[in-house]
Amino acid sequence: GENVEQHPSTLSVQEGDSAVIKCTYSDSASNYFPWYKQELGKRPQLIIDIRSNVGEKKDQRIAVTLNKTAKHFSLHITETQPEDSAVYFCAAFKAAGNKLTFGGGTRVLVKP
């Protein structure tokens, strides 16, 4: 089955700096890669996603890149702000089997 690895598990950055989170997946049949942000005590919510026919996508301060050959994808947050502090999850989805598999999460702390 699919296995999604996420690194680092914790990330502390100074406000204004960039944050990068990296994920790898094992199943080449996975074709959709969402990123979720989970604030303390809240539900995970989608912040950006990328499909396997696209290599890069950007939405304001966040961007995601996908390398299908290497089976890895990354989240980039620029100009970090204290409200970016949360746990971020990458995930890989495979339509066959309706399975959305999550990475282990990265706890991001943005220090003012």
Partner 1 sequence: DTAVSQTPKYLVTQMGNDKSIKCEQNLGHDTMYWYKQDSKKFLKIMFSYNNKELIINETVPNRFSPKSPDKAHLNLHINSLELGDSAVYFCASSYGHSNTEAFFGQGTRLTVV
Q: Which spans of this chain sit near partner 1 (rule: CB under 8 A)?
A: 31-32, 34, 38, 42-46, 49, 51, 87, 89, 93, 95, 97-102, 104-105, 107
The answer to whether the beta carbons of residues 67 and 4 sit under 8 Å apart is: no
Q: Minimum Å distance from CB 42 to partner 1? A: 8
Measured from the CB atom, the residue of 1 and 112 that comes closer to partner 1 is: 1
Measured from the CB atom, the residue of 55 and 97 that comes closer to partner 1 is: 97
Q: Minimum Å distance from CB 101 to partner 1? A: 7
Measured from the CB atom, the residue of 3 and 79 that comes closer to partner 1 is: 3
Q: Minimum Å distance from CB 34 to partner 1? A: 6
Measured from the CB atom, the residue of 41 and 112 that comes closer to partner 1 is: 41
Q: Minimum Å distance from CB 61 to partner 1? A: 20
Cβ-based burial of 22 (10 A; exposed 0-12, middle 13-18, buried ≥19):
middle
